[in-house]
Amino acid sequence: MPAPANEPALAVCSDVQSPCWQRWIVDGARDLGVTVTAAQAAQMARCAAELLAWNRRVNLTAITDPAEVAIKHFVDAVVPAPWLPAAGRVLDVGCGAGFPGIPLKVVRPDVHLTLIDAVRKKISFVSHLIRILGLTHAVARHVRLADLRRQAPRPVFDTVVCRALGPLSAWLENAAALLAEGGSVLAWKGPAAQGELDALRRPGDPPDQVRLGDGRAAVEVKTYHLPVIGGRRCLVRITPMA
């Protein structure tokens, strides 16, 4: 993997708490239009160190290379930070080891974050991160999306975020049911994004809309490439239409 600009060798960034590794976060996020402060990068470094330490005992992630941890787990996670409404209520579905929700919370401390996952050990780790990072208005719950939909007395979230949960058709309707009026679902996708969106359309449907239950939703797609390590990504924003 190529080193960042002005960095002589990748080896100096083998420690996720090193200044070089934290610079990857700051510079990589900046390249994608997001500001991460030095203090926020330090919080992410602590999070990364905890992730790798726990991962030696409990399988949380297959991504352990320092560069990939920096870019795939943290930089990629903060791409939609400017899209989150001020003090918005955010739900991270299938949060795994806390991504994308925890990095988003670090750069947007104003949001109220709920993270859910069906795997208890992952929720235990995320709860640990919330405690040690001192994140306020953040909670991790061991619950499935469909069960949360049944439990919620009314739509309660302004934004639902999801990464690596499977095709949109498998979970989008449940996620959208939890949105407050005007809310959006944000989904990280790879090259298969267009095919998944096409599966939610019928012949003749507008290219900027998809079917959602008995209604429709507006679609926006942001395409970008990950810095340092490369790789094409699509961030899909789906907003139910009144």
CB atoms within 10 A of CB 208: 11
Q: What is the mean pLDDT of the chain?
A: 93
Does 1 reside within a domain? no
Does 85 reside within a domain? yes
Q: Is the pLDDT of residue 1 over 50?
A: no
Tokens read off for 46: 């602590």
The rounded Cα 110 to chain-centroid distance in angstroms is 16
Span 125-145, average pLDDT: 98
Span 100-128, average pLDDT: 98
Span 30-57, average pLDDT: 97
Summarize pLDDT for 228-239 with one digit per residue, the tens: 898 899 999 999
Does 206 reside within a domain? yes
Span 49-63, average pLDDT: 96
Span 27-35, average pLDDT: 97
Please report the pLDDT score of residue 13 as a whole number.
79
Please report the pLDDT score of residue 192 as a whole number.
86
Q: Are 51 and 60 in contact (CB under 8 A)?
A: yes
Does 144 reside within a domain? yes
DSSP symbol at 167: -
Please report the pLDDT score of residue 12 as a whole number.
58
Which CATH number characterizes residue 37's domain?
Answer: 3.40.50.150
Please report the pLDDT score of residue 3 as a whole number.
45
Q: Are 14 and 67 in contact (CB under 8 A)?
A: no
Tokens read off for 34: 């997001």
| pLDDT higher at 191 or 78 | 78
Inter-residue long-range contacts of 162-166, CB under 8 Å, 24+ positions, other chains counted: 162/92, 162/93, 162/94, 162/186, 162/187, 162/188, 163/77, 163/94, 163/99, 163/100, 163/187, 163/188, 164/94, 164/96, 164/188, 165/93, 165/94
Span 39-48, average pLDDT: 98
Q: Are 210 and 201 in contact (CB under 8 A)?
A: yes
Please report the pLDDT score of residue 6 as a whole number.
43
Start-end of H helices in the chain: 19-31, 38-55, 66-68, 101-107, 120-133, 145-151, 168-176, 193-198
Q: Is the pLDDT of residue 7 over 70?
A: no
Please report the pLDDT score of residue 10 as a whole number.
45
pLDDT band at 43 (very low <50, low <70, confident <90, very high): very high
Q: Looking at the whole model, is its pTM more than 0.85? A: yes
Please report the pLDDT score of residue 152 as a whole number.
74
User: For residue 241, with 0-12 CB atoms within 10 Å meaning exposed, 13-18 middle and 19 or more buried, which class applies?
Assistant: exposed
Does 113 reside within a domain? yes
pLDDT band at 163 (very low <50, low <70, confident <90, very high): very high
**4: amino acid identity, one letter:** P
Does 2 reside within a domain? no
Q: Which domain holds residue 202?
A: 10-240
> What is the three-class DSSP state of 89?
strand
Does 5 reside within a domain? no
Summarize pLDDT for 68-83 with one digit per residue, the tens: 999 999 999 999 999 9
Report how many domains make up the chain.
1
Lowest mean pLDDT among 85-99, 153-167, 181-195: 153-167
Please report the pLDDT score of residue 141 as a whole number.
97
Q: Are 161 and 184 in contact (CB under 8 A)?
A: no
Does 38 reside within a domain? yes
